[in-house]
Amino acid sequence: MSEKIILDYGSGGKASQRLIKEMFVRHLGNPWLNRLDDAALISDLEGPLSMSTDTFTVDPIFFPGGDIGSLAVHGTVNDIAMLGAIPKYLSCAFILEEGLDMDDLDKIVSSMAAAARNAGVLIITGDTKVVPRGAVDKIFINTSGIGSVIAEPSPSGSSASPGDAILVSGSIGDHGLAILSHRQGISFETDILSDSQALNHLIVRLIREVGNIHVLRDPTRGGLATTLNEIAQQSEVEFFIEQDRIPVREAVEGGCSFLGFDPLYLANEGKFICILPEKFADKALEIMRSDPAGLGAVKIGHVREGRKGKVVLKTPLGGHRLLDMLEGEQLPRIC
Ligand code: MG
């Protein structure tokens, strides 16, 4: 294959075949994908099913703690898992810019393969398009996926109830600040790495060992503040959050004040919010902290009747203010 992606690779002809076999099948191969049929036949999934899709356009494509390939797997795996499901199969579609380095593509696809292995999912069907220089920036990836729901009932953003505890699985803002500082060429004393990771194995443990989980959601774009607002609105309840309980790494706090960002609005790609009845909170925290994906888990607040759809933040000085949703786009191409 050539050193750079050329338009021929998206032609559907011989060059496409070569790219599929020598790149995608080589890294991602499995009995479903290797058949190279028009679609993949799934015969072992029992309903109800959870299905999700996401498109990844992150800039830069390689960043501290990850790359667009692993992120594209983690993002969809995590969204499927948030319904209380075990993700099983993924599709992936690539839009490649003419001129993309073949070595970069190789690294990205190999990283997708590793992320899929760790998450226990298979990429069973896919598509590749190549567009002329400038029509996209290097590489965009769409992944869709499907998995079996094991939670009964399935957690939902509309299920938060007064008396529930609000937990978060670890430090906030890492992904957003890692991307932002890398993009601006700023380095901090302590390396800030993206938290991009698969959460599905921990979610399965929580569902099997705790159950009774009302809400699971990963605070990606818009950050923790926006996601909390979405859930409070969907559930028509008020959230009471204590700001000094929200875990933010010192380096992220410092980087944010330097760059003028609020970590509560920065994207996360490996954290989740878990809302469940207060009496199960300690058990859930114990399980979360025993797992590498939830080491920094803490309770940050609770759900109460109050004003529907509002998030009240108790500041470290003891004052109270309303925590709003993100206005507009803080950081384009963050994921
Ligand atoms: Mg999500």
pLDDT at residue 332 is higher than 90: no
Residues lining ion ligand 1 (Cβ < 5 A) are 79, 218
Query: Which is nearest to 299 in space by CA: 168, 111, 208?
Result: 168
User: Mean pLDDT over residues 208-225, rounded?
Assistant: 96
What pLDDT does 94 receive? 98
269 Cα–ligand 1 center, Å: 9
Per DSSP, the residues of 215-247 read: EEE---TTHHHHHHHHHHHHHT-EEEEEGGGS-
Cα 214 to Cα 151, 154, 160, 261, 310: the distances in Å are 10, 8, 6, 31, 18
Phi, psi of 191 (to 5 degrees): -65, 135
CA–centroid distance, residue 184 to ligand 1 (Å)? 26
Position 190 pLDDT exceeds 80: no
Residue 70 to residue 108: CA distance in whole angstroms = 7
Distance 4 CA to ligand 1 centre (A): 34
C-alpha span between 122 and 202 (Å, rounded):
19
The predicted pLDDT at position 191 comes to: 82
Give me ligand 1 centre to Cα 148, in Å.
Answer: 17
Which domains are assigned to the chain? 7-149 (3.30.1330.10), 164-322 (3.90.650.10)
Residues sharing a CB contact under 8 Å with residue 234, sequence separation 6 or more, in sequence order? 156, 157, 158, 160
Q: Is the dihedral of CA 32, 335, 287, 192 positive or negative?
A: positive
CA of 189 to the centre of ligand 1 (A): 31
CA of 317 to the centre of ligand 1 (A): 32
- Cα–Cα distance for residue pair 299/281, rounded to 1 Å: 8
Q: What is the mean pLDDT of residues 278-303?
A: 98
Kindly give the distance from the C-alpha atom of residue 216 to the centroid of ligand 1, in angstroms, as a whole number. Answer: 9
**Are 67 and 196 within 8 A, CB to CB?**
no
Check residue 170 and give left, alpha or beta (phi > 0: left; psi -120 to 50: alpha): left
Q: Which pLDDT tens digit goes with each residue over 157-181? A: 999 999 999 999 999 999 999 999 8
Cα 199 from chain centroid (whole Å): 9
Q: Which residues, 6 or more positions from 130, have their beta carbon under 8 angstroms from its beta carbon? A: 5, 6, 7, 8, 9, 10, 11, 95, 96, 97, 98
- Distance between Cα 11 and ligand 1 center (Å): 34
Give percent above pLDDT 70 in the chain: 99
* Stretch 299-318: mean pLDDT: 97
pLDDT for 186: 80
Query: From the CA of 53, how far away is ligand 1's center (Å)?
Result: 10
Distance 217 CA to ligand 1 centre (A): 6
- The closest alpha carbon to 68, from 146, 171, 138, belongs to 138
Distance 267 CA to ligand 1 centre (A): 11
Max alpha carbon distance in the chain (Å)?
Answer: 67
Confidence of residue 253 (pLDDT cuts 50, 70, 90): very high
Cα 129 to averaged position of ligand 1 atoms, centre (Å): 26
Please check the confidence at residue 329 and state whether its pLDDT lies above 80: no
Q: Say yes or no to pLDDT of 185 above 90.
A: no
Percent of all residues in the chain with a pLDDT value above 90, rounded to a whole number? 91
- Report how far ligand 1's centroid is from the alpha carbon of 51 (Å): 12
For ligand 1, the distance from its centroid to the CA atom of residue 231, given in whole angstroms, is 12
Centroid of ligand 1 to alpha carbon of 78 (angstroms): 7
Question: In whole numbers, what is the pLDDT of the chain averaged over residues?
Answer: 96
- Report how far ligand 1's centroid is from the alpha carbon of 2 (Å): 37
- pLDDT, tens only, 63-82: 999 999 999 999 999 999 99
The pLDDT value recorded for residue 47 is 86
- Is residue 194's pLDDT more than 90? yes
Give yes or no for a cis peptide into 153 (omega within 30° of 0): yes
Q: Would the pTM count as exceeding 0.95?
A: yes
Distance from residue 227's CA to the centre of ligand 1 (Å) = 9
